[in-house]
Amino acid sequence: MFIDSAKITIKAGDGGAGKVAFHREKFIASGGPDGGDGGRGGNIVFQVDDNLSTLADFRYKRKYVAQNGEDGKGGRCYGKKGEDLVIKVPRGTLLKDAKTGRLVADMSGDEPQVIARGGRGGWGNIHFATATRQTPRFAKPGMPGETMELVLELKLLADVGLVGYPNVGKSTLVSVVSEAKPTIANYHFTTITPVLGVVRMGEGQSFVIADIPGLIEGAGEGAGLGHQFLRHVERCRMLVHIVDVSGSEGRDPKQDFQTINAELKKFNPELAEKPMLVAGNKCDLATDEQIENFKSFVEKQGYEFFPIMAAIRYQVDPLLKRILELLSKLPPVKRFDPEPVPLTPAETTNRHEVKVTNRDGVFVVEGEWLVQVINSVNFDDYESLQYFQRVLINTGVIDALREAGIQEGDTVNIYDIEFDFME
């Protein structure tokens, strides 16, 4: 089954906690703190794998978590870094933030991309030793790893995209000019997944051609299979529009041509600007008058026309040579630039933002950053409590409590840690 979109959740590893430890050695009194730092959490890394062609693997596994960093140890030993989690995707996969739609990365190159970074390891108590605090009995926990919900969208990388109504001969053309073997039959939507083929024109000359499933009227709004696969046309350097010039199925070739072009423009206006050649297939079923009439119609709109019979490869080579000539002048396959993370205006940013609520005489303090601080404090140690008090003063928590109307002796609650307020 061809799966070209998926939604997954990724989480980088958390940093390991710092260690509270003291040096113990014979004949050495008061060895001092020697707790090591925690290890950094593993990153989430995406890597292109050319052996993959769909996103089917992500249909069954949707959560990817990297390894956490190890906690620090005594003897100034640092915790081991968590291993990176490498996620392999097909070439041409776009990674988008599911919440904002922001493009995070375009996996078209060979270089791996770090999408979510692991958390830093927490400091051991060796970092908190000072001249006046020689036995710190607290350390810092590790920082959490980045978490993100991603939408994976596969856009195949091809030089040439074949577009047109169903059953006009797109798959037949791919089968005779390349080694690809798409399903071919005399009914609509024989091709239900894109097929890539490599066309070799001689020493060092080749290009990739993509057979896009047939489009119908309304494809831009999702009719038929078109909307599902039109995204694969976006990367193509140029298009070849295949038309049944004989009208063998009772449709007007001119109307078919206009309808498909309109659907491409409706889906993405940039598609209408791509260079396009027009191939009139099934010429053996058409009269000379029909062919000349359609050729005149196409050339008046500025397109080059090539009459072909794909099934017997009649006049296919001139089309291929013209494609190769145009490709030599066109820019490479389109790659999308990642979008930067939107910046929050400085005046609205406060990394120590707190919310104080008076609940029946108890002043409840809330702030995400406070959780990290509380986890680092040893409330049974006097010096650690002094450190906690300085943090509350320096970050504005005490001022926020005063603004909320707190009085001496009132109870303060910070994430289930309660104490009496003292001036």
The two counts, helices (H) then strands (E), for the chain are 9, 18
349 marked as binding residue: no
Give per-residue burial for 117-134: e unless 16+ CB within 10 Å, then b: bbbbbbbbbbebeeeebe
191 annotated ligand binder: yes
Burial of 50 (0-12, 13-18, 19+ CB in 10 A): exposed
What is the rounded distance in angstroms from the CA atom of residue 206 to the CA atom of residue 357?
A: 69
Nearest residue to 375 (alpha-carbon basis) of 10, 15, 13? 15
Ligand-binding site membership of 92 (annotated): no
User: Residue 189, annotated ligand binder?
Assistant: yes
* Structure-token pair, residue 239: 């298009």
Query: Is 166 annotated among the ligand-binding residues?
Result: yes
Residue 105 annotated as lining a ligand binding site? no
Spatial distance between the Cα atoms of 62 and 9, rounded to a whole number of angstroms: 6
211 known ligand binder: yes
Place of tokens 């430890």: 21
Question: Is 164 annotated in some ligand binding site?
Answer: yes
Question: Which structure tokens are listed for 312?
Answer: 């017997």
Q: Which two three-digit tokens encode residue 379? A: 């409330």
350 is an annotated ligand-binding site residue: no
Is 355 known as a binding-site position? no
Give the span between the Cα atoms of 96 and 338, in whole angstroms: 9
Q: Is 171 annotated as a binding residue?
A: yes
Tell whether 193 is in a known binding site. Answer: yes
Q: Among 214, 172, 216, which Cα is nearest to 197's?
A: 172
Q: Is 219 marked within a binding site?
A: no
Residue 125 labeled ligand binder: no
**Residue 212 known to bind ligand:** yes
The reply to whether 260 sits in an annotated binding site is: no
The answer to whether 284 is a known ligand-binding residue is yes
In one-letter notation, the amino acid at residue 378 is N
Q: Please name the amino acid found at residue 63.
A: K
Residue 173 neighbours by CB under 8 Å, 6+ apart: 162, 211, 242, 279, 281, 308, 310, 316
Q: Binding residue per annotation — 51?
A: no
- Radius of gyration for the chain, computed over Cα atoms and rounded to the nearest angstrom: 32
Backbone angles phi, psi at 71, to 5 degrees: -70, 155
Q: Residues comprising the binding site for Mg(2+)?
A: 171, 191
Enumerate the known binding-site residues.
164-171, 189-193, 211-214, 281-284, 309-311
In the annotated binding site for GTP, the residues are 164-171, 189-193, 211-214, 281-284, 309-311
